[in-house]
């Protein structure tokens, strides 16, 4: 279950932090970001299954996804429980690609990579199990109602 979602610079979501429960209702006027919040979860879900660039291309490219067509990093952080263990996923990326990505499932580090210089990576895809991919892919079906 997702406990907290933090989103920076994703579409109309400049800097959003939400505490979530088992059942969530998003209420707001048109163009307030409800659909973009859901698309953010769908984006993470897709990016676990296909390349990040393909997920961006489906949305019109980086410049169409970043808030206000700025050049800053898009950041998505998801705190969740899996098998009753606190877990976290974080990704930060720019037009040039992923700058930082980390997936912690319980106490097991599944993904930990960061760009230290242009084109240079410190990468530890520790095990990136199919369970990790399955969980991230399942975010698309999280329980929301919008109005």
pLDDT digits (tens, 9 = 90+) for 36-69: 999 999 999 888 888 888 999 999 999 999 998 6
| CATH number of the domain bearing residue 113 | 3.40.50.300
Q: What is the pLDDT of residue 125?
A: 47
Instruction: Tell me whether residue 120 is exposed, middle or buried, using C-beta atoms within 10 angstroms of its C-beta: 0 to 12, 13 to 18, 19 or more.
Output: exposed
pLDDT cut 90: percent of the chain above it:
47
In a domain, 146, yes or no: no
Q: Is the pLDDT of residue 131 over 70?
A: no
Strands (E) located in the chain: 2-10, 13-19, 24-26, 74-82, 85-94, 97-105, 108-117, 120-124, 144-146
Q: What's this model's pTM, rounded to 2 decimal places?
A: 0.85
In a domain, 101, yes or no: yes
Helix (H, G, I), strand (E, B) or coil at 53: helix
Q: Dig out the tokens for 57 from the structure.
A: 């291309």
Q: What is the pLDDT of residue 49?
A: 83
In a domain, 33, yes or no: yes
In tens, the pLDDT along 20-35 reads: 988 888 899 999 999 9
In a domain, 44, yes or no: yes
In a domain, 63, yes or no: yes
Strand partners, 89: 78, 103
Q: CA 29, 22, 18, 48 torsion: positive or negative?
A: negative
Higher pLDDT, 51 or 141: 51
> Could you tell me which of 67, 120, 121, 125 has the C-alpha nearest to residue 95?
67
Higher pLDDT, 110 or 122: 110
Q: Is the pLDDT of residue 143 over 80?
A: no
Higher pLDDT, 50 or 132: 50
Domain count, the chain: 1
Which residues lie closer than 8 Å to 71 by C-beta, 6 or more apart?
94, 95
Helix (H, G, I), strand (E, B) or coil at 66: strand
Its domain, for residue 134, covers 2-141
> Could you tell me which of 117, 74, 77 has the C-alpha nearest to residue 94?
74
In a domain, 85, yes or no: yes
In a domain, 147, yes or no: no
Taking residue 90's Cβ as centre, other Cβ atoms within 10 Å add up to 17
Strand partners, 103: 89, 111
């Amino acid at each position: 279950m997702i406990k907290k979602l933090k989103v920076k610079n994703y579409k109309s979501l400049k800097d959003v932090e939400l505490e979530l429960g088992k059942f969530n209702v998003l209420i707001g006027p048109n163009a307030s970001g409800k659909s973009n919040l859901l698309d953010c979860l769908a984006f993470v879900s897709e990016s676990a299954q296909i390349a990040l660039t393909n997920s961006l291309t489906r949305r019109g490219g980086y410049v169409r996804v970043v808030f206000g067509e700025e050049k800053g990093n898009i950041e998505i952080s998801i705190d969740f429980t899996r098998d009753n263990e606190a877990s976290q996923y974080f990704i930060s990326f720019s037009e040039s690609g992923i700058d930082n990505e980390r997936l912690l499932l319980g106490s097991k580090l599944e993904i930990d990579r960061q760009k230290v210089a242009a084109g240079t990576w410190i990468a530890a895809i520790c095990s990136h199990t199919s369970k990790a991919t399955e969980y991230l892919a399942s975010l698309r079906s999280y329980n929301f109602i919008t109005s």
